[in-house]
Amino acid sequence: MLKVTQQPDVISFGGGLPAPELFPTREIAECTAEVMEEYGAAALQYGVTEGIPEMRTWVADRLSRRLNTIFDPTEILIVNGSQQGLDLIGKVFLDPGDHVVLENPSYLGAIQAFDAYQARYLTVETDEDGIVPESLERVLEHADHFPKFLYLVPNFQNPTGRTLSAERRVAIVEICERFGLPIVEDDPYGELRFEGDDLPSLVSLAKTDTVIYSGTGSKILAPGLRIAWLAIPDHEIREKIALSKQGTDLQTGSLAQYVFHRYANKRHAFEAHVDRIVETYAHRRDVMVEALERTMPAGVSFNRPKGGMFLWATVEGVDTTELLKRSAEQKVVFVPGVSFYPGRDIHDGMRLNFSNASEDKIQEGILRLAAAVREFK
């Protein structure tokens, strides 16, 4: 797929890429100059592992407002992209053969991070409202080896775009607290809501310190800065993850943190920037859904997520890995769904990214994809 997407006439729905035309390049350049003027060499020097104080305070304040729970800056660890956060969690929690509970399907990047520590997976049934609590309870009751944690993406999940319902959030937190199972709540897309009200975060519902919350600036500013964060209420776990980060890279880059903070702290400009992202992605989602409705043959089903960057489609009776080969000939690509199932046992799904292509390319790409599907129908 990577070879194909390097061709200029290929339309890609495969990557999880933000829209580069929305990056505030001029403002970032101005902020960089301001940071160098104010901080000089200090912005280029080593810093503390947990992150610069200004960045940790900004994250704590923003999460406290968004998630309706109080975070202290000392609970925040700035990491080099949310993928590093997943890797550090795996490093601290997992020994070879340990079990992790996952949604089915689940985020491929998390599977890759935990695979590095030779994890094994217990999968929980999901539907349009996310994890099925009764399935989670059954999995925990019958687990031969009790898992180390539950990993999930509750808002506009990658790959499916589904959102965990409010009722199920309460039930899942209650089940995990009853069983003593930590939760890793990965929320990269929570600020990209197009419609409806925000739902309570799992970390805000927890009565104990069992939830680790992961967030990122990649989807609301720019992924190249590699600024993300873990909110870890449990002091002991936080210390262990910080020590593991020291062994990995000592710290997240100081200059990137200062620049991110400088722009994000210009609250009016930053909020207007996030609003522009949400408006653009919502329109592109609508364009993709309308194109799918108009062009796809019978046997193709898909959802209409209320936010995020992806929607999920299934092609009845078709192995989408084989479909990808055919669609690549039509100069359009996607990610086959099998990659997101830990058991690699379900083959009829595909993840379609709508954030990174223009409206015209979305319409043309779906037209090409529908033509490829018809060859299997």
Calculate mean pLDDT across residues 58-67.
97
Exposed, middle or buried, 267 (CB in 10 Å: 0-12/13-18/19+)?
A: exposed
4 confidence band (pLDDT: 50, 70, 90): confident
**Reported pTM:** 0.97
The domains of the chain, with CATH numbers, are 2-16+270-376 (3.90.1150.10), 46-265 (3.40.640.10)
Question: For residue range 97-111, what is the model confidence (pLDDT) as tens digits?
Answer: 999 999 999 999 999
Question: For residue range 332-362, what is the model confidence (pLDDT) as tens digits?
Answer: 999 999 999 999 999 999 999 999 999 999 9
pLDDT at 8: 83
Exposed, middle or buried, 290 (CB in 10 Å: 0-12/13-18/19+)?
A: middle
Q: For the chain, give the mean pLDDT.
A: 97
1 confidence band (pLDDT: 50, 70, 90): low
Question: For residue range 13-48, what is the model confidence (pLDDT) as tens digits?
Answer: 998 999 999 999 999 999 999 999 999 999 999 999
Is the per-residue pLDDT at 72 higher than 70? yes
66 confidence band (pLDDT: 50, 70, 90): very high
- Contact between 228 and 81 under an 8 Å Cβ cutoff? The reply is yes
Rounded Cα–Cα distance for residues 157 and 113 (Å): 17
* Largest pairwise CA distance in the chain: 63
Is the per-residue pLDDT at 7 higher than 90? no
Looking at residue 56, its amino acid is R
Is the per-residue pLDDT at 303 higher than 80? yes
Rounded Cα–Cα distance for residues 133 and 139 (Å): 10
